A and B are shown apart, each in its own frame.
Chain A
Amino acid sequence: MGTTDILGLFNYWMVIVLMMIGLYIVVSRGNLVKKVVGLNIFQTSVFLLYISMGKISGGTAPILTGKPEVYSNPLPHVLILTAIVVGVATTALGLALVVRIKNAYDTIEEDEIQAVDDDDEFGSAEDVQP
């Protein structure tokens, strides 16, 4: 594996690192706002993966100049452009859910929500027989 391979794959590896940080935040953190931010990081890493694949060395932005030029692939750009706005709309939906959860449970920590649910279903923790 030579230097060209490492340089040629570096983008994808960094994308994977970002993706895994996002995943780790979603899996390991209990705070719902933090989870939404983690999802956003994950989402951005997917965007970067697509755009990295669309890049051509020595290419330029796919807006015609009238001169013969190499253009980078416009298709990933189209897919990701719409995905970003959809992403913010769905983030807003997620945050709205967080606000309602706060109204209903008075907390946005996953563990505490779970505890409240358990209490409702099985009675409070002291009543539960081992």
Chain B
Amino acid sequence: MFTATMAALLAAMILALARLYMGPTLYDRVLAANAFGTKTVLMIGVMGFLTERPDFLDISLLYALLNFIGTIAVLKFFRYRTLGDRVEPGEEGQ
């Protein structure tokens, strides 16, 4: 039964990869990469059960915590075109 879940996840991953490749907008790519991250979290979890050593969920946990950073960085990059502070006296705070 873990095998079936695994197959479903792998199928979903290839579809997300296809969307990531096709685009067409930047945001589609971020969305696909984000979805791909979620699927990897689950894949690593299921993999642990498949090999009967499920104590390695730390890796999934790490991804669940940190995948967020990539998205935030991307968002900030879109919005302000820098990852630092944009210090411009004339600029409005939107």
Q: Which residues of A contact B (CB under 8 A)?
A: 60-61, 65
**Can you list 5 A-B pairs, Cβ within 8 angstroms, ordered by A?**
A60-B51, A60-B53, A61-B53, A61-B56, A65-B53
Note all chain B residues with C-beta closer than 8 A to A61: 53, 56
The answer for the CA separation of A65 and B53 in the assembled complex, in Å, is 10
Min CB distance B60 to A, Å, is: 15
B28 CB, nearest partner CB in chain A, Å = 20
Q: How far does the alpha carbon of A60 sit from the alpha carbon of B51 in the complex, in Å?
A: 8
Contacts of B51 in A (CB 8 A): 60
* Residues 35-60 (chain B) with a chain A CB within 8 angstroms: 51, 53, 56
**Chain B residues with a Cβ under 8 A of chain A:** 51, 53, 56
Question: Cα distance A61–B51 when bound, in Å?
Answer: 10
**B44 shortest CB reach to chain A, Å:** 13
Give the shortest distance, in Å, between B54 (CB) and chain A (any CB): 12
B69 CB to closest chain A CB (Å) equals 14
Q: How many Å lie between the Cα of A61 and that of B59 in the bound state? A: 14
Give the residues in chain B near A60, CB-CB below 8 Å: 51, 53
- Smallest Cβ-Cβ distance to B56: which chain A residue: A61
The chain A residue sitting closest to B48, CB to CB, is A61
A72 vs chain B, min Cβ distance (A) = 11
Closest A-B pairs by Cβ, 3 of them: A60-B53, A61-B53, A61-B56
Select from chain A the residue with minimum beta-carbon distance to B52.
A60
Q: What's the minimum C-beta distance from A3 to chain B, rounded to whole angstroms?
A: 21
A113 vs B18: C-alpha distance when bound (angstroms): 35
Residue on A with the closest CB to B55?
A63
B contact residues around A65 at 8 Å (CB): 53
A1 to B53, CA, bound (A): 34
- Whole-angstrom distance between the Cβ of B47 and the nearest chain A Cβ: 11
CA distance in complex: A60, B54 (Å):
12
